[in-house]
Amino acid sequence: MRVREIIERHPRSIYVDREVLVRCAEECFECSATCTACADACLGEPDGAELVRAIRLSDDCADVCDATGRAVTRQTEPDRGLIRAAIETCIISCRACAEECDRHAAHHDHCRVCAEVCRSCEQACNDLLALL
Amino acid sequence: MRVREIIERHPRSIYVDREVLVRCAEECFECSATCTACADACLGEPDGAELVRAIRLSDDCADVCDATGRAVTRQTEPDRGLIRAAIETCIISCRACAEECDRHAAHHDHCRVCAEVCRSCEQACNDLLALL
Amino acid sequence: MRVREIIERHPRSIYVDREVLVRCAEECFECSATCTACADACLGEPDGAELVRAIRLSDDCADVCDATGRAVTRQTEPDRGLIRAAIETCIISCRACAEECDRHAAHHDHCRVCAEVCRSCEQACNDLLALL
Amino acid sequence: MRVREIIERHPRSIYVDREVLVRCAEECFECSATCTACADACLGEPDGAELVRAIRLSDDCADVCDATGRAVTRQTEPDRGLIRAAIETCIISCRACAEECDRHAAHHDHCRVCAEVCRSCEQACNDLLALL
């Protein structure tokens, strides 16, 4: 994503390894979009009743990932405690959504993709958290 | 806010004391709107350079409060660990924003209001967290 | 909502009648929260299959109302053409969601409330649009 | 972005050329992230006072692009009138932000990147609008 190019040109010094930070921001935005799409794909399935929990957790994960992605993207005067807490919440949200989507992966390929993206975002968040 | 009326008519049983939950949801949405407005009011001040940190923390707080308000509002198949983490992040975000806005309260009355709303949201989050 | 107090203390002159503007901002945030809650209440209903379109339109309306509420709230250096377009989209979104929720109002009281809130937001948007 | 893989696996038939739709959704999410980053980079510049309008329009554009990206991404029971209006608002928002960021492109390379991303998003929106 091109958000990387903005962060590379930011006037303030980045408070942590830039590559790890950029990857976390990108994964959060990616995961927010993917969870929005998967919640909607689940809603459109004929067996939607089976997918109620997947829809709910994808809705939460889309919102949490978007807020976390925005907070991680900003480099001006960050509050480290807030960034850390936001990332921890994002990890919990991605894990919950991945676990539920995995349960439906055999029947719904969009749930398999969503679970993969959630786990990738969880990993990128863990990598950044380790540096904070 | 009328979101209360929806939660009172929700088909699933609420997983925690309803009054405490509704108040937390309302305060999160209120605080998100207030922080959006205060960030913009700070941006419009002639001494904007003094307010850079207030703007940044209000931006974060607006996003975190919105995501938390949405997650708390939803009653269908919640993940308690996720709700707890989201509320904890919201508490940290409201506290950071309130502390910074308090530093400018004497010169900018909108910062005084914003700090009050953040502290009120922090309290409502703490009250819900105590029940989870 | 207390966002009103921030707008009343904003350093820049408001570009339109303040009372009409504040009411539009408040209604947008109110409607975003209500639609988030109604989408989730519909998802939790045993006859969720009947409510798929209501969920989808409430999801859209929650997102559109939040973005519009934020844009209307900001008073620093607005672009009038953008504010006008955002409000027009919000009107269309509120109308579509209200029409669909009305179809379910007899069976689901949360849909009745949601339709009322959407129509109230639509009216507040129309009132502001008339001044722009 | 991997949101494409979800849309390709969506159970409902896509209501318009899939490639054009996916590209519009991706560009909206990309532009939302980029505008969030550029608003923050502008805020961190020593000459922030010159960049007040760029910050404000980037804030609006981040919010509008996110809401539009979500609405375009959803394929279940869409309201075409709403999708059309959302895209039109996104076009106006991207154009306003690009014009302002272009004014600062010579001094701030992040503004040059942001203007490019906004124009690319505007084009993707126009391409989708032509099919609706």
pLDDT in tens, B60-114: 999 999 999 999 999 999 999 999 999 999 999 999 999 999 999 999 999 999 9
pLDDT digits (tens, 9 = 90+) for B21-73: 999 999 999 999 999 999 999 999 998 889 999 999 999 999 999 999 999 99
User: What's the average model confidence in pLDDT over D34-53?
Assistant: 95
Which distant-in-sequence residues (6+ apart) come within 8 Å of B37 by Cβ?
B110, B114, C3, C6, C7, C10, C73, C74
| Residues of chain C positioned with their CB less than 8 A from the CB of D56 | 74, 76-78
Q: Which residue has 């806010």 as its token pair?
A: B1
Q: Cβ separation of D56 and C76 shorter than 8 Å?
A: yes
Instruction: Please report, rounded to a whole number, the percentage of residues in chain B having pLDDT higher than 70.
Output: 100
D30-34: average pLDDT: 98
Residue B71 neighbours by CB distance under 10 Å: 27
Q: Is C75 exposed, middle or buried (0-12, 13-18, 19+ CB in 10 A)?
A: buried
Q: Give the closest-approach CA distance of A60 to chain D in angstroms.
A: 14
Residue D43 predicted with pLDDT over 90: yes
Separation between Cα atoms, residue D14 and residue D19, nearest integer Å: 10
**Separation between Cα atoms, residue C57 and residue A42, nearest integer Å:** 15
What are the chain C neighbours of B106 within 8 Å (beta carbons)? none
pTM given for the model: 0.98
Could you read off the pLDDT of C29-81 as tens digits, one per residue?
Answer: 999 999 999 999 999 999 888 999 999 999 999 999 999 999 999 999 999 99
Minimal Cα–Cα distance from D37 to chain B, Å?
12
Which residues from B are below 8 Å from A53, CB to CB?
77
d(CA D102, CA D111): 7
Average pLDDT, stretch C108-129?
98
CB A35 within 8 A of CB A62: yes
Q: What is the pLDDT of residue B15?
A: 84
Give D29's pLDDT tier (boundaries 50, 70, 90). Answer: very high
In terms of CA atoms, which chain D residue is nearest residue B47?
D49
Instruction: State the pLDDT at residue C15.
Output: 84
* Closest residue on chain B to A75 (Cα): B56
pLDDT above 90: residue D123: yes
Identify residue C67 by its one-letter amino acid code: A
pLDDT given for residue A49 in this prediction: 87
CA-nearest residue to C85 within chain D is: D89
At residue A75, does pLDDT exceed 90? yes
C1/B6 touch (CB, cutoff 8 Å), yes or no? no
Q: What is d(CA A94, CA D88) in angstroms, rounded to the nearest whole number?
A: 33
Q: What is the mean pLDDT of residues A41-66?
A: 96
Confidence of residue D27 (pLDDT cuts 50, 70, 90): very high
pLDDT for position D47 = 85
Whether the per-residue pLDDT at A28 is higher than 90: the answer is yes
Residue C42 C-alpha, separation from nearest chain A C-alpha, in angstroms: 10
Mean pLDDT of chain A: 97
Give the model's confidence band at D42: pLDDT under 50 very low, under 70 low, under 90 confident, else very high.
very high
Per-residue pLDDT, averaged over A74-90, amounts to 98
> Residue B10 and residue C44: Cβ atoms within 8 Å?
yes
pLDDT band at D49 (very low <50, low <70, confident <90, very high): confident
**Comparison of pLDDT for C37 and B13, the residue scoring more:** C37
For the segment D85-103, the average pLDDT, to the nearest whole number, is: 98
AA letter at B28: C
Given the structure tokens 């994964």, which residue do they identify? Answer: A27
- Cβ neighbours of residue B83 under 8 Å, at least 6 residues apart? B71, B72, B132
User: Quick check: C129 pLDDT over 90?
Assistant: yes
Question: What distance, in Å, lies between the first and last C-alpha atoms of chain A?
Answer: 23
Q: Tell me how far CA of residue A82 lies from CA of A17, A87, B61, D15, in angstroms.
A: 18, 9, 9, 41
Which of B1, B10, B108 faces C41 most closely, judged by CB atoms? B10
- Chain length of chain D: 132
CB-CB neighbors (< 8 A) of A45 in chain C? none
Distance of alpha carbon C92 from alpha carbon A76, whole angstroms:
37
Number of A/C CB contacts below 8 angstroms equals 21
Interface residue ranges in chain D relative to chain A, Cβ cutoff 8 Å = 1-3, 5-7, 9-12, 25-26, 29-30, 32-34, 36-38, 40-41, 43-46, 62, 66, 69-70, 73-77, 108-110, 113-114, 116-117
Residue percentage of chain B with pLDDT more than 90 = 95
Q: Which chains touch C (3 or more CB pairs under 8 A)?
A: A, B, D
Residue D126 is predicted with a pLDDT of 98
DSSP secondary structure string for all residues of C36-100? HHHHHHHHTSTTGGGGHHHHHHHHHHHHHHHHHHHHHH--SS--HHHHHHHHHHHHHHHHHHHHH
D65 neighbourhood in chain A, CB within 8 Å? none
Q: Which residues of B touch D42 (CB under 8 A)?
A: none
Query: Which residues of D lie inside 8 Å of B (Cβ-Cβ)?
Result: 39-40, 43-44, 48-49, 52, 55-56, 59
Neighbours of chain D (3+ CB pairs under 8 A): A, B, C
pLDDT of residue D48: 82
**Residue C107: pLDDT over 90:** yes
Percent of chain D with pLDDT over 90: 95
Residues making up chain A, counted from first to last: 132
Residue C63 has a pLDDT of: 98
Give yes or no for a contact between D37 and D110, defined as CB atoms under 8 angstroms apart: yes
C40, C44, C56 member nearest A43 (Cβ): C56
CB within 8 Å: D82 and C76: no
pLDDT single digits (tens) D10-23: 999 888 999 999 99
Averaged over A72-98, what is the pLDDT? 98
Q: B77: phi > 0 → left, psi -120 to 50 → alpha, else beta; which? A: left
SS3 C45: coil
The string of pLDDT tens digits covering residues C1-22 is 999 999 999 999 888 999 999 9
pLDDT the model gives residue C71: 98
**Token output for B112:** 């005084």
